[in-house]
Amino acid sequence: MLVVYPMPASSVTANEIPVANYGEVFTRRWVVDLILDLSGYTPDKDLANLKVVEPACGSGAFLAALVERLVESARRHGREPASIRRAIVARDLQAPHVAKSRMVARDALAATGFNSRRAQRLAREWVQQGDFLLDPPAERSVDFVVGNPPYIRLEDVSPRLSEAYREACPAMGGRSDVYIGFYERALSTLRDGGVLGYICADRWMRNAYGARLRELIGRECSVEAIVSMTAVDAFEDEVSAYPAITVLRRDKQEAGPLVVDAAPHFGAKDAGRLARVAAGRKTKSKAKAFSAARMPRWFEGPSGWPHGSPARLATIAELEGKLPTLEDPERKTRVGIGLATGADKVFITDDCGLVEPERMLPMAMVRDLASGRLDWSGSYLVNPWDRNGLVDLDHWPAMKAHLMTHKAGLRKRHTAKKSGKWHKTIDRVVDGLAERPKLYLPDFKENLFPVLDKGETYPHHNLYWITSDEWNLEVLGGILLSEVANMFVSAYSVRMRGGYLRFQAQYLRRIRLPQLTEVDQSSQKALKSAFKKRDRAAATAVALSLYELDEVPM
């Protein structure tokens, strides 16, 4: 947890946010300075003529740095002390935090030579108690928003407050976190060219609840920098989080951002080096404590942003910009997931004579693919579907007798209650899929593991399937076997315990393929051979050539 939402003073009652969530974690000063450097809040600019907002100031971790830079800028640009009066806006819900932040701002001003009376007055004007999500500054009125936004699940606040936040911040969909709203509200306050610089948990970049925010950013902003700090000691206390610095600008995305992967020992000196790299606009940089690369482009839309080393992300971005996806209507290539029954013990059987032969559909299970080829183990789906929908059980007495013995249990399933059809499976059988040649991919594997089905079975729900009217499936299987294809999925998906990847359809669809017209006969032959032999190295060698890569970036 980074910073949890503090207790509001008046608009929310004491029981609307659990007491256990009132605490906070302080951002280290060198991290604050890095965020301000990357955001461009630097004394060489006339900061007195700009407005910066700290939306959840806590105990003032950002305020001291903001004040010091503002005063230095005013002196460099010959500004009178009164000129900085409206340059800072800081908010917090909890009265003790407001008092502490005012002290920090006052002391920072005093340290730069301001008399105590003027310092006290400025601090009181700058730091106010309030709810940034429900009462933010006016739209398009701010030049910078910086900070460490609160991190708390919406379900941990009262229904009344949760409803108010969702209404004010449409990007907070699903099981969202409050910090999503802090991104959304901050972006709405920025003037054209204005900059947001946050350190926050990075899960919104990939999880479903961040989809609306990602779409908003792609539509209205450019991504300037992302610094992954997963194991970095960025906070005063030890925390369990996956923090990243994100810098966004209200502007059109003309070029890709600076993407940085910081090593666990990344510290203050390294932050200074990184700030110089960012200012120098280098394409690539590698130091002992971090690696950085400027992307050729960034990723648009609500889909999760990929993760990985800067070099790998740059390669993926480049390939995404010029190659078609695996699921492509023009090539008539489709990706889907196998059938979920909601009651496998009822609908899946090894007894080939259990019901009428016409209602028995050979079903492929994950265990059938272990050798790298389809070795069907004899499982069948008791199939209640035909091309017109659910069949009439009265026409199939053996199947009816079998299902009737389980009717009570089948009726308790959610899918049965929702549809009113007690004998349906969760998913409908796709007509003709069993007889069609296809590639199977198991859900949980360390690497992509494509297996050919020549049109003999129907897939269980732990299998994904790929069909194509244009690609030879053994050629396509060779590409998917390669480390190049695996690079895409490992960047998009979540790695589970034990090192296994979730090969979900949404990730598989985003794999880029070479143009089929560029895959010559020699390459096709080599890919077929590699696929049949399960030779990942050979498949990778051919794929590297087709994707015009020297190697798969680590």
Task: Write out the DSSP string of 19-77.
Answer: GGG--B-PBPHHHHHHHHHHHT--TTS-GGGS-EEESS-TTTTTHHHHHHHHHHHHHHT
Per-residue pLDDT for 28 more than 50?
A: yes
Q: Give the number of other CB atoms < 10 A from CB of residue 388.
A: 7
pLDDT tens readout for residues 194-231: 999 999 989 899 888 999 999 999 999 999 999 999 88
| Residue 333 burial (10 A CB sphere; 0-12, 13-18, 19+) | buried
Q: Which residues contact 401 (CB under 8 A, 6 or more apart)?
A: none
The H-assigned helical ranges of 281-380 are: 310-322, 344-347
The residue-averaged pLDDT of 455-480 equals 97
The residue-averaged pLDDT of 252-259 equals 90
Task: Supply 486's token pair.
Answer: 């695996």
Nearest Cα neighbor of 509 from 339, 325, 303 is 325
Asked if 429 contacts 339 with a C-beta cutoff of 8 angstroms, the reply is yes
Task: Supply 473's token pair.
Answer: 């499936």
Supply the pTM of this predicted model.
0.80
Task: Kindly state the percentage of the chain with pLDDT values over 90.
Answer: 77
Q: Which residues contact 230 (CB under 8 A, 6 or more apart)?
A: 202, 242, 243, 244, 262
Asked if 109 contacts 118 with a C-beta cutoff of 8 angstroms, the reply is yes
Q: How many Å apart are CA 543 and CA 375, to the nearest integer?
A: 27
Q: Quick one: how many helices (H) and strands (E) in the chain?
A: 18, 22
What stretch(es) of the chain map to CATH 3.90.220?
333-546
Taking CA atoms, 314 is separated from 195, 320, 417, 421, in Å, by: 23, 10, 48, 49
Q: How many Å apart are CA 520 and CA 395, to the nearest integer?
A: 52
The whole-angstrom distance between residue 173's C-alpha and the CA centroid of its chain comes to 14
Q: How many Å apart are CA 479 and CA 437, to the nearest integer?
A: 17
| Residue 454 burial (10 A CB sphere; 0-12, 13-18, 19+) | exposed
Nearest Cα neighbor of 473 from 492, 452, 501 is 452
Q: What is the pLDDT of residue 301?
A: 87
Beta bridge partners of 245: 199, 227
Give the CA radius of gyration of the chain. 28
Q: How many Å apart are CA 479 and CA 75, to the nearest integer?
A: 61
The residue-averaged pLDDT of 86-104 equals 96
Q: Phi then psi for 337, rounded to 5 degrees?
A: -115, 150
Q: What is the pLDDT of residue 56?
A: 95
Lowest mean pLDDT among 151-160, 250-259, 346-355, 410-419: 151-160
What stretch(es) of the chain map to CATH 3.40.50.150?
14-251
Q: How many Å apart are CA 437 and CA 36, to the nearest integer?
A: 56
Per-residue pLDDT for 15 more than 60?
A: no
Per-residue pLDDT for 23 more than 60?
A: no
- Mean residue pLDDT across the chain: 91
Asked if 97 contacts 130 with a C-beta cutoff of 8 angstroms, the reply is no
Taking CA atoms, 381 is separated from 274, 308, 409, in Å, by: 58, 40, 18
CATH topology of domain 333-546: Adenine-n6-DNA-methyltransferase TaqI; Chain A, domain 2 (3.90.220)
The residue-averaged pLDDT of 269-290 equals 86
pLDDT tens readout for residues 288-316: 899 999 888 898 889 889 988 899 999 99
Asked if 17 contacts 156 with a C-beta cutoff of 8 angstroms, the reply is yes
CATH topology of domain 14-251: Rossmann fold (3.40.50)
Pairing of strands 389-390, 385-386: antiparallel
Q: Band the pLDDT of 393: cuts 50, 70, 90.
A: very high
Asked if 478 contacts 527 with a C-beta cutoff of 8 angstroms, the reply is yes
Per-residue pLDDT for 4 more than 80?
A: no
Helix (H, G, I), strand (E, B) or coil at 469: coil
Q: How many Å apart are CA 210 and CA 146, to the nearest integer?
A: 20
The residue-averaged pLDDT of 75-94 equals 95
The residue-averaged pLDDT of 237-250 equals 83
The residue-averaged pLDDT of 509-516 equals 93
The residue-averaged pLDDT of 100-109 equals 97
The residue-averaged pLDDT of 51-55 equals 98
Taking CA atoms, 181 is separated from 127, 149, 152, 201, in Å, by: 21, 9, 11, 13
Q: Give the number of other CB atoms < 10 A from CB of residue 516.
A: 17
Q: What is the pLDDT of residue 444?
A: 78
Per-residue pLDDT for 280 more than 90?
A: no
